[in-house]
Amino acid sequence: MPIEHSFNPYGDSSGGSTLAIAGKDFAILAGDTRHSTGYSIDSRNESQIHSVGDGLLVSPNGFSADARAFVDDVHNDIIWYHHKHNKKLAISSCARSIMHTLYRRRFFPYYVSPILVGIEPDGTGAVYSFDPVGSYEREASRAAGHASELLVPFLDNQVRKANQVDPETGKPLAQHDLDLETALQLVKDAFAGAAERRIQVGDWLEIAVVTKDGHKVERYPLRRD
């Protein structure tokens, strides 16, 4: 029997789930604070929401070593942008920069599903989501992580109004901009549901709201089992 040696550079330690919704003049980035490896809970208090400067928030959701390295990369890119250009980095430019950061490692990728939120120069709230090798898109809402399958249909239904019709006219309901209060309630309901059915999701829900005046983070309890 020959002896084999191998090294797997990817681990399975990761955060739970993240979720983002873009509004007319705000954007929400939410994530639970549970961090787990298999059936073990590593931490009940590991934030997935990172402020990288210029009013931008990033959640890197995925393999945690890569997630940290990725956030540092994004943070450094913004610092260097300031040194070189002496101005704020617009969110659309930050998104393109993240694409390059991820694609540079096309054949040894960061094992992450990042979401970037902030305010566009025109004042609208923005959500950009990425795959591990840099494909990205600006969207009205996005969920990533262990509970993304559970969260996405709910967002389709409540944010995009998929399959809903106006009871008066029978015409499909159009997506309209959510007010902040409704959006926050959706996020809380979505995570309460996800924590109910996914063991990787729980402990605390952190919700960051970004507006033109900056961001603030609030915490709400989730299931701890």
Partner 1 sequence: MSNPSEINGGAAVAMVGKDCVAIASDLRLGLQSVGISGDFEKIFEYNGVYLALTGLATDVQTLSIDFRKKHSLYELREERRMEPQTMANLVSSTLYSKRFGPYFVGPLVAGLNSSTSKPYICSFDSIGCIEHANDFVVVGTASDQLYGICESLYEPNLEPEDLFETISQALMSAVDRDALSGWGGVVYIIEKDKVTKRYLKTRQD
Q: Which stretch binds partner 1 (CB under 8 A): 65-73, 95-103, 172-180, 192-200?
A: 192-200
Q: Which stretch binds partner 1 (CB under 8 A): 18-26, 55-63, 118-126, 151-159?
A: 151-159
Q: Which of 106, 189, 216, 218 binds partner 1 (CB under 8 A)?
A: 189
- Where on the phi/psi map is residue 93: left (φ > 0), alpha (ψ -120 to 50), or beta? alpha
Angle 11-132-68 (CA atoms, 0-180°, nearest 5)?
55
If binding is defined by CB under 8 A, does position 135 make contact with partner 1? Answer: no
Instruction: Report in angstroms how near the CB of residue 153 gets to partner 1 at its nearest.
Output: 4
Q: Which of 121, 123, 153, 221 binds partner 1 (CB under 8 A)?
A: 153
If binding is defined by CB under 8 A, does position 194 make contact with partner 1? Answer: yes
Cβ(66)–Cβ(112) below 8 Å: yes
Instruction: Report in angstroms how near the CB of residue 191 gets to partner 1 at its nearest.
Output: 9
d(C-alpha 101, C-alpha 47), whole Å: 22
Q: Which of 40, 197, 213, 225 binds partner 1 (CB under 8 A)?
A: 197
Write out the two tokens for 194. 């996800």
SS3 sequence, 131-177? Answer: CCCCCEEEECEEEEECCHHHHHHHHHHHCCCCCCECCCCCCECCCCC
DSSP state, residue 165: B
Q: Which stretch binds partner 1 (CB under 8 A): 32-40, 47-55, 152-160, 169-177?
A: 152-160
Write out the two tokens for 84. 């070189």
| Residues found near partner 1 in the complex (CB under 8 A) | 147, 149-154, 156-157, 162-164, 189-190, 192-194, 196-197
